[in-house]
Structure formats: C-alpha cells, structure tokens
Structure 1
Amino acid sequence: MKINRIGVSVFVVSAEIEDSLNKLCVGKDVKMVKEYVPLLSVRLMRLKGKSEEENRFFVNLVNKSIYTVVRPGYASKVKGLLPFHHAVEEPSLDAQNFLSVLESLPQPVQQAFGFLVDHGTTSVAEFKQEDLAPLLHQQLVDTYQHQATVYVKLSSRVPSFSNACHDLSRYFVVSDTSDGSIECQSIHHNPEAIAKTIGSTFGAVAQIEKVVYLPVAYIHEHIAGKTSVAQHYLMLNKASGQHPASVSHPKNMAPIMLGAHAGAKEIAFEAATINFTHVAGMDAVKERIREAIVYPLKSPDVSSEYQKKGGGSILFYGPPGCGKTYIVRATVGECGANFYSVNANEIIGMEPQVGADNLHNQFEDARANTPAIIFFDEIDALGGRRESAQSTSSRMVINQFLTEMDGVESSNINLLVIGSTNAPWDIDPALRRSGRFTIQILLPPPDKVAREAIFSVHLKKVPHDGSVDVGKLADLTDGYSSADIKAICDESVRIPWQEAVHGGVHRPTTMKDFLTVLASRKSSLVPWMRLAEKQISKSGESDVYAELWDLIEQYKARLGVAAAPEVVLSAPVKISPPPATPPVQSADAPVEKSRVPDAERATAIKEKNTLDEKIRLLKEKKEAGEINDSIYAALMAKFESQLKELGEKI
C-alpha cells in the first residue's frame, strides 16, 4: 500500500454571502450548518493536433461528482428556484456523477464517452457496438433516429474537455488558511483511481495536484413538522467585488496522507500529516530517526562530505499501544518522503514464489520512488524465525526478505526500512546482523510528560470542567499505554453521557468520573510484560534486549507485577512392566502409538502455554482495534498450525 502525501488548500468564504445567510436564519426555525467538502484538483494535459491542450478538473472525494461553474445567465435561473431569495449573488455549480459508472467500464468504453463529450451528437456508425452498449445500459447516452441515420448523444449536459468552467480555481479565491470552526467532510475515494479514470476518458495525462476544500452551507428549515434542506455555496468569486469573511479560528492547512490498497477503489485511511512536533517526548528516538533519513535529505552536501548516505533500517519494538505506528507517521511528515506500508497478509499465505515476488516488487517500487520509507507493521509475521516457519511459503518469504534487506545500507540509498513488532523475540536473528535491522529502538510506555500531553489532546475533544487535573491523571497512569489513556478518556466521558441520555442533567466530565474509571481499569500491559519476561528468559537474549529487560524490571517494581507463574507438571506416571506374554490382539485392533518422551512432552506443554498467552493477547489487540483483520487472520493461522503440532506431542 502506497501512502500519498497530498497538499491541501481551501476556497475562501465570501463575507457577503455568509452575512446574507445568517440574516435569513434570524427569528426563524432555521438552522445553518457549514462544512468543507473535499475536492481533488487534477491537472489534465493532452495533445490536440500539434498543440498541447490542458485543463484542471475538480472532483468531489465524497461522491465522485465532477464540478463545473454554471454560466451566469443560467445561474440566475437556478437561483430563483432556491427557497430563500436575497440580493447577494451566489456561486452556482453543476455536479455530474458519471465517474462512478465509468471507472468500472473498459477503457474503450470510457474513451467513447470522452469522444461524445468533446464532439457532441455523433452517428452511431462512428462507434463499435460493444463500446456503446455499456453506455446505453448505464443510461449515460441516448440514441435517436433522424431520417435514415441513428445518432447517439449524452444523456446530460457535460462541458467539453477544454471548457474553462471545469477549473474552479479560475473563478474562486484559494487560500492555505481555513476556518477551524468549520468541519471537514471525510474523504471516501482513492485519488489515484479517480485521476486514472479521468485521464483514460479524455485521452490525457492526469496529474494529482492537491485537495481543495469547498465551503458549503446547508440551511435546515422546519415548516409544519417537515424539514427542508437547501444547499448554498460560500466561495468568494474573484470578479464579484465581495470580500473574504473573517476567520474566527484560523488554521493552516497541513498536507494529508491518503492510502489505498493496490487496485482498491476505496482509500484505506485519511490522516492529517504530522511531524515530530506532534510527538511528546521521545527526543532520543526522534534524533536517531533524523540521522537516518531526515538530515541526509535536508543537508545532502554536508552528508556527502562525511560519506553519510540517507536510508538504512530501524526496528521499533515494545509493548502494544505505545505509539510505534504514530512515530512512523511523524517520520513521514518530518522528511516528506514517499511512504509504503506493507501488509503482511498480502505477502504470506500465497504460493511460495508469488509471495516472494510480491515482496520483491514492494521493495522495487519504493526504490524507484526515493526518498522513500517502507514500513512493515507486525514484522514478526513476515520476518519470524525460520526454524519456526511452518511452510515452504513462509521460509521462502523470510529468505527473500533477508535478501532485500542485504541491500539496505549499500544500494538502497535514501530508502529507509522501518519494522515494528510487539514480539521482538520472534524476529529471526539474521535480521539483526549488520546491514539489516542494526538500529533497534525500544518504544516504552509514555513517560509522565507524554501522558500529560496525551490526556490534554483527548480532553480538547470533550466537555470537561476545571476539576480535571491532567498532572494527577498522569501520576495515576504510570505504566499505562497510550491506548489505555485514550480508553480511560472515552470511558470517563461515557459516564455523563449515559446520565444525559437517560434523562439526567447535561453536565461536563469531572475528575470524579476519571477516578471512577481508574478504580476499575488497570494497565493492559501487565500480560504483555509477563509474556516478554518469559520469552526473553527462554531465549537467553536478555543482553540483546537489555533495554526491554530493564523496563520489565522497573515495571514490576513500580506496579508490583508478579512474575508469570511457571507451568507445574504432574509427576511422571509410573508404568508397570509388561507381562511376559503379551495378550493376543486381533489383526484389526489399532496399534498403540509410541509415547512421546516425558521431557519432550513437558517442553511441548510449556510452549503451548506460551502460545495460548500469545493468542489471548492477539485477541485483546483485535478487540481493541490495534490490529487489522488481515494481520489478525495471518497470525491466528500461524498460531493454530503451531498448536496442532504441539497437540500431537502432548
């Protein structure tokens, strides 16, 4: 999965339009809701004869509509249909939603539609039947007969490719500062898929420029028990003589990250780009990352003088819910590199050669787009110990991964490979040797400064009174994960909410609510610390993971966590010697299997108990939303296979 970093801006709100709508709401049962609608700005370039032709299209990332500016004469007619009549001229846009249909159709069909947009009504004889049939079926075009000729035309008005009305930025003022009091609608669709469809339709090269938020007001009017909703565009027209509205909560529009699985139509996630200023504490961790990728990119001359190449590899490990993925996101924002997130389930579980080839292609794609970061979450699912790999496919993928990593410090210049895991003891030791994951960074539970910052961030989103003491809450949550703190905030807010929905007084969240939650909610890291202690002791790698071992000891001392109890085995059963003459047995009777030696059985029982604990932790993470479905399925399949093998020994 490639994560695109896309710039963001916003169309400026007109003061006159906003004031006019506010006046309409005075003294009436009317409510106005303002929102920003995300539009994708796509630059299209193509050759027409010997000259180059280009335009800019704006596509709604919520419903895939293509916007065009309606000509002034038509705008006044549309305006008369609105439920409110006032003197201020408003922008009028037309929205066409043919992309949703076209994206699923073959390229020749898309091009036939684009031809009709450019040339208008055309004889059916100009097209192949197989190209027109899908358009007719989807009601994008109509046919009619004039004299002896059958013609085809578009079912609705779509301006031609070269029409200036497609480019909203020609008409409306754009800014990098938005009004923070206006909510932004979420992005629902993949920009790359949209750009590909538009480019194919018009035979043009499509370039994604940025996301521009369109300010819209929805007027809800209640009349006779019914509600009507009217939509009004708030943009400031460059030629209108109007003025920009004052912004009560100015907010600089930061780039966002958009990710989509290969071939998928829907985006995987949308998140505002963050950098190291958004990460509380972790100064040593941030400096090591800067040295690996940020400084070489921002100061190439100095880095070249000292033979310091950008790139390398870093392994983040530590307890779940403590910010490993968050620090990776901040790294992307800090250096502005291309970002690739690899889903282990897309690699493992395939045919042996397919999985290895898929992994190789992920690395090749990242190398071709440096500076880049390639991120492997839950890397133990991909780079686990080869002796414990249960299939040829797993072993082949692990070997391919080791091969790709061999080039990290030599040929992979400006490529940073980041892995993260909650189970470092399961990582193949070969991944830790020179040239691979030589930098291993423990991300511990947040310290007090970080806990205060996390509480403050979550409290900004909920109503609370002055009794809430962030410093005291930070003291009471020593040894808790970042995810624990978020859950504590959510549960504390739930208390007054439950009271309100059952007819109680509407009140803010108080310190008492937090203390009530804390009285029953303990740190979720206790089971993980016990498992980590057991696994590191078993592997004898306390020197390898010295920082983690020290953390475990400190954690036990602070919270009084007892060591995980050892498995107590019953005494061996004494078996009487067989009789001198064995009993006669029929030929059909089953032959008794040879018993597994007691020592091997005891080891198998210990391993099974350890595996049961891993499965329990995995299920907890799944329920808490800390692991996605594909990773969960892959790990469960691996654990169940190991359990089956251990069951045979037991």
Structure 2
Amino acid sequence: MLDDGGLRALREAARLSPDNLPLRRHLAEQLLAKGYLADAEAEFRAALLLAPKDVDVTAGLAEAFVRQSAHGAALAALEPFLASPGYPPRLGIIAAKALLGEGETGKAAYRYYEAISRDASLEDPELAARLAIPVPTPSAAPADPVPPSPPEEEEVERSKHTFADVAGMEAVKESLRVKLLLPLQQPELFAAYGKRAGGGVLLYGPPGAGKTHLARAAAGELGAAFVNVGLADILDMYVGSSERNLHATFDLARRNRPCVLFFDEVDALAARRSDMRQAHARQLVNQFLAELDGVDQNANEGVLVLAATNAPWYIDAAFRRPGRFDQLVFVPPPDTAARAAILRILCRDKPLAEMDFDAVARATEHMVGADLKGVVDRAVEVKLQQSISAGRPIPMSTTDLLAAAKGAKPTAVREWLATARNYVLHANESGAWDELMPWIKAKW
C-alpha cells in the first residue's frame, strides 16, 4: 500500500488511462525515486509492453532490478541495447552496477569507463571507488602523461565446470572436443597426422546463449588453466599500451600451458581495419594477428584460443585465415530440451517442490540462458518474500516459474535473428555463414 498521496493519485490516473505511456513512465520513475522498488518494477514492465524499445523505460526497469539485487535480470534487460554501438551512456553505468553485483569487476570497469568517456556528467565516485578506478578532480592540473607500468602478474583460473554443467548444445560441445580438446588429450594420435595441440575457435551467436560458460567448461573438461580476457584487461588510453597488454596476456597463457585463453566481445579487439579511422586501433588488430601466429610454429602449442562475439560479421577477415580463428562454431539459442536442462541446473541448489521443467521450457520460447536466469531470479525473489512472512523456507514450484516467465520477454534473439538473416541471405559470398542457413530457414 502506498503511503504517498501524490503517488496514489498518479497510480489512479494510470489505471484510468492504461495506454498513456508518458504517464506510466512518470509513475514508474517516481516510484523508483521514492524506493517503492517492486511497484516501480511492475509499472516499468507495464510501460515496456506499450513501448518495447523505449530506452528510458528499459533503463528504469534495469535500475529497479539492480536495486533489488536482481543483477542477472538487469543485464538481460539491457543486453539488446548494449550490443549496439553508440548505446546511451546511462545504460553503461547501470550495466556496470549489475556486472559488479555479479562479480564481473573487469567488465564492470570497462562499461563504466566507456560510459563516462562519452558523458562525464555520469561520473559516480562511489561506484568508481568500488571498481578501483581513480576519479579525476577538476582542480588537479594534468601533468605530462606517464605511460602506465606493465600489468602485474595475473592469476590463472582453474575452472570447476565441465561440459556436464553445460545444458544442451551437444553438437557444439562435440565440435569443440574434436577441434580443441582431443589433440591435447591424445597427442600421439594427432601428431601422426601432423595436427598440433592448440588453435583458435570463434564462438558466435545471440547474446546470452552461454558462450562464456561454454569456454570455461572447455577448460574444466581438459583440466587446463583458464584465462578470461575482458576488454578492460587490454584496452588502454596510452598509445602502445594496449598492444603490450595483449602480448602479456598471450605470454601468460604460454607459461601456463595447457591453457584456454578466452576473449569475450572479441569484435571490439578484432574489428575490420577498413572501418577504423585511427592508426593505433589498426595496430592493435595487427598485434592480435601476430600473437595468434606466434613467433614460430610452436609458439602457441598447447594454447587453445577461444573467442566469443555476437557480431562475427564485423570481425576483420584476416582472423579467419587458417591457423587463426579459422574455425567458426555457431552457439544457437537453446531449444526446448536445452531450456529445460538449463532450468534444472539453475534450480538445483534451491528448495524445490515437484517440478515440471518441460512445461516451463515450453513457456519460454526464444529465451536464452541469461533470460532464464532472470526468470529464476524473479521467482526466487517472490519465494523469499513468502518464506520471510512464513518464517520458514517454502519450496519453489512449477507455478512460481511459470508466473515469473509470464512477465518476462526474450531479450535479444529476435533482433539478432533479423540481423543474422540479412548477412546469411545478402552478404554471404564467401560462404562464411553457411552454417547459419539451415537454422535461419527453420526459424524464419
């Protein structure tokens, strides 16, 4: 029950005029500003039904999620906008908060830095402090720029996940086994055919389909070191520093072989040089190509280079040359069986009643793993409120998941599908996207 007369009047006006988007948006923003988070979320959702691509409504909904600690749901809501160049900087700040809540400090720092570089008025000293980013003060006179020191030695990760923790995608997992894992697991057999242990694979597909999780599981399957490279680990404002960071990252992988070296959002590091206006950006692409080739043919032996992107058509064609990212692996959105398996994994550590995951999977058509995590998070929040009132844990049921799914919408698959279809049908002279053709025809 709202204890604010002004808000009650606004809500009554919205009830009488349910299709008035400005009114609903204003009501949602006022609710958010005064801390009525659940009510704000409900109003933002209602406004989003009226304008599914409204940036302000999406930003407000994501902010409401973040303030309720539903960080996965916030990222799922923002993903369609973040995947497009030139997205509003405000969304980057909200994404940074959500990523920080998910423990992805490097990605959070990149989103924050990128946002304030385009709109300095969005600087948030408190958030910057949590990200360990120095905030410049206006009174400080800039001294001569001093190149940063070489990055400190980074700890490599040992993944606890294997392919058993990846729901569905059996064809993708089998492809990775043959292309990357088996040469290391059976070196004598592959050496007989002149096949070296190592190589590069580019994972591509719609946002949220599980490319990062798949890469981490590949490392765990092999028992290899895992180095997860974000844009903030490489990109630097000083000319030449980005190239040095990239070289240091490859050296780290080579010293810890066998190692899976994973580049997320690789299109930002390997974009087409013909589209670049600045020479130092092209130089970074050249450095990346040189590192993939190695100083000799055995330089990267035992280093499995995986990269992920939502937009493979923007990557420089030189990366698809044999010996580099010559192997493209499509990571499709999960089908019904895979969605049921993902839901089982997401719910396996929670109090459950008897569950019909297949029914929930059928109700979540076109949703990817990130969307499903948002559905589970929302159901858990509702169940927590009920459990607090009851004073005991109340098991989550199929009905709870179906109710959460009813209010959720797929975030990015449809938009990605439309873009992919254009490339498959109208820009596929090289045959690079032939693997997508059957899937596009089946879904369109």
Q: 1:554 to 1:408 in 2, by over 3 A?
A: farther
Q: Is residue 478 of structure 1 aligned with residue 348 of structure 2? A: no
Q: 1:271 to 1:500 in 2, by over 3 A?
A: farther
> Among 221, 234, 240, which residue is 1:347 paired with?
234
Residue 429 of structure 1: how far off its partner (Å): 1.2
Cα distance between partner residues in 1 of 2:432 and 2:381: 43
Cα distance between partner residues in 2 of 1:396 and 1:359: 12
Cα distance between partner residues in 1 of 2:382 and 2:158: 29
Q: Is residue 523 of structure 1 aligned with residue 381 of structure 2? A: no
Residue 384 of structure 1: how far off its partner (Å): 0.6
Residue 549 of structure 1: how far off its partner (Å): 4.3
Unpaired runs of 5+ residues, structure 1, are 1-186, 188-260, 557-650
Q: 1:420 to 1:338 in 2, by over 3 A?
A: same
**SS of aligned partner of 2:324:** coil
Q: Counterpart amino acid of 2:227?
A: Y
Deviation string, structure 1 residues 164-220 (Cα, Å, up to 9, x no partner) = xxxxxxxxxxxxxxxxxxxxxxx9xxxxxxxxxxxxxxxxxxxxxxxxxxxxxxxxx
Q: Counterpart amino acid of 1:554?
A: A
Count residues in correspondence. Answer: 294
Cα distance between partner residues in 2 of 1:348 and 1:492: 38
8 Å Cα contact 1:352/1:394 also seen in 2: no
TM-score by length of 2: 0.59
Task: Compare the two structures and name the one with the higher helix fraction.
Answer: 2
> Among 378, 384, 390, which residue is 1:497 paired with?
384
Cα distance between partner residues in 2 of 1:297 and 1:507: 47
Deviation string, structure 1 residues 338-359 (Cα, Å, up to 9, x no partner) = 2222232332343332222221
Q: Counterpart amino acid of 1:401?
A: F
Match of 2:304 in 1: 416
Match of 2:338 in 1: 450
1:204-603 aligned within 5 A: 263=152, 273-407=160-294, 410-411=297-298, 412-466=300-354, 468-501=355-388, 507-524=394-411, 525-534=413-422, 539-540=427-428, 543-556=431-444
Match of 1:32 in 2: none
Match of 2:122 in 1: none
8 Å Cα contact 1:459/1:489 also seen in 2: yes
**SS of aligned partner of 2:304:** strand
Residue 326 of structure 1: how far off its partner (Å): 0.9
Q: 1:374 to 1:409 in 2, by over 3 A?
A: farther
Deviation string, structure 1 residues 270-322 (Cα, Å, up to 9, x no partner) = 88611122223323322332233322222222222222210011000001111
**SS of aligned partner of 1:352:** coil
Residue 539 of structure 1: how far off its partner (Å): 4.3
Q: Tell me which structure has the larger Cα radius of gyration.
A: 1
Deviation string, structure 1 residues 497-538 (Cα, Å, up to 9, x no partner) = 334546799743333322222222221122332343356667
Unpaired runs of 5+ residues, structure 2, are 1-102, 104-149
Cα distance between partner residues in 2 of 1:278 and 1:501: 31
8 Å Cα contact 2:168/2:341 also seen in 1: no
Cα distance between partner residues in 1 of 2:345 and 2:333: 17
1:21-40 aligned within 5 A: none
Cα distance between partner residues in 1 of 2:250 and 2:307: 14
Cα distance between partner residues in 1 of 2:340 and 2:386: 27
Cα distance between partner residues in 1 of 2:429 and 2:406: 36
Residue 435 of structure 1: how far off its partner (Å): 1.9
Task: Compare the two structures and name the one with the higher strand fraction.
Answer: 1
Cα distance between partner residues in 1 of 2:398 and 2:307: 39
**SS of aligned partner of 1:373:** strand
**SS of aligned partner of 2:190:** helix
Q: Counterpart amino acid of 1:518?
A: A
Q: 1:277 to 1:507 in 2, by over 3 A?
A: closer
**SS of aligned partner of 1:441:** strand
Q: Counterpart amino acid of 1:452?
A: A
Q: 1:544 to 1:303 in 2, by over 3 A?
A: closer
Greater displacement, 442-451 / 290-299: 290-299
Q: 1:508 to 1:413 in 2, by over 3 A?
A: closer
Q: 1:540 to 1:306 in 2, by over 3 A?
A: closer
Cα distance between partner residues in 2 of 1:272 and 1:346: 19
Cα distance between partner residues in 2 of 1:460 and 1:413: 38
**SS of aligned partner of 1:419:** strand
